[in-house]
Amino acid sequence: MIIGMKTDEFKYELVHKDKNSNARLGLLNVFGKLVETPVFMPVGTQATVKFLDPQDIKNIGASIILSNTYHLWLRPGSEVLKKAGGIHNFMNYDGPILTDSGGFQVFSLADNRKISEEGVSFKSHLDGSKLFMSPEDSIHIQEAIGSDIAISFDECIPYPSSYEYTKDSVDRTLRWAKRGKDAHTRKNQALFGVVQGSEYPDLRKYCAQELVKMNFDGYSIGGTSVGEDKKTHYEMLDYTLPYLPEDKPRYEMGIGAVNDILEAVERGVDMFDCVLPTRIARHGTLMTSQGRITIRKNIYKDDFSPLDPNCDCECCKNYTKAYLNHLYRANEGLGNRLMSIHNLRFLIKLMEDIRLAIKEDRFVEFKKDFLEKSNFDERGF
């Protein structure tokens, strides 16, 4: 424990700023659990990172994970989690956990959505039952789940959206943020506001400034990587970050591509999450220091070299490309586990290297060198 840090507080400390960019090295005290930033958070949507157990999560160096409010609300239900003593007890994981608001899933998975000032009416993607979620509901569900960091309920709009619709949505998101903050009662749970505004500079600025006035514990950047081109994506960050305080963490939601992470870090983002590394792993796509490997290809059938000689994960230290090729072709669950471990470790090791580069004031050089050597395509994997 760092001297001066309390176990009952949530606090971000800016440790060092790269002298050639806005990249930040930080330390997040999550009620006594320390998280170095920039950080990538593996996604455990339904109280599990797919195919990994809690010890696997620790072994790959993950310091914080994300779970999903919408999915946990539907199954097993917030009351079950409350009876279990919270999500940490339920899944036997003692590290920090962030829950998203459920808003993205309400708008992307549910059918027949109807938005009102009170909240959103929709149908469950599981059984078609009628459901309703308000900003207060989202907060109360997250409190019952027992996560360490909760996210305000916001409206997730598609890209592109008109200026008029986006303006109305931003205003609604701000009203919902205030209602959610007023409803939030847990002292051992931080609450982040969500900056929306699509591609419109004035709306991004307005949303950020109004949320800062509400004094959230941290700020999420929403509405990026939802179909826009890379240039527009990065401009959204440029329109947002100058208006967020330096003494609070900044979290860009749903980002897992290498190029997106590096661009966001350079601009001053601290936290990231995405299902990308585990999702592509299950389809046999691996991120390595030599570039992307598609393990199902015949060229790996008798390749007895490690997946990535520069990786220290369980997969790379103990198994060959030939074995992974076999597991994938045989549709064996072990293949999903090993390849998920590798892709997550690859991104977490990237964050470790990023933090060291920031500390040594060489992040810009590191970014350029990494992108040249990694040989990923424009998608960032």
The tokens for 304 are 């007895």
Closest to 254 measured CA to CA, from 288, 283, 228: 228
End-to-end CA distance of the chain: 36
Q: Could you count the other beta carbons within 10 Å of the beta carbon of residue 224?
A: 24
Residue with tokens 């205030």: 178
Q: What is the DSSP string of 303-360?
A: --SBS-TT--SHHHHH-BHHHHHHHHHTT-HHHHHHHHHHHHHHHHHHHHHHHHHHHT
Closest to 281 measured CA to CA, from 325, 330, 343: 343
Separation of alpha carbons 100 and 344, rounded Å: 20
Q: What is the DSSP string of 166-213?
A: HHHHHHHHHHHHHHHHHH---TTSEEEEEE--TT-HHHHHHHHHHHHH
101: left (phi over 0), alpha (psi -120 to 50) or beta: alpha
Which sequence positions are flagged as catalytic?
Answer: 100, 273
Evaluated on CA atoms 93, 187, 37, 210, the torsion sign reads: positive
H or E segment and range at residue 37: strand 33-37
What pairs with residue 10 in β-bridges? 30
The tokens for 307 are 């997946």
Separation of alpha carbons 310 and 353, rounded Å: 13
Please state the φ and ψ torsions of residue 281, each to the nearest 5 degrees. -60, -40
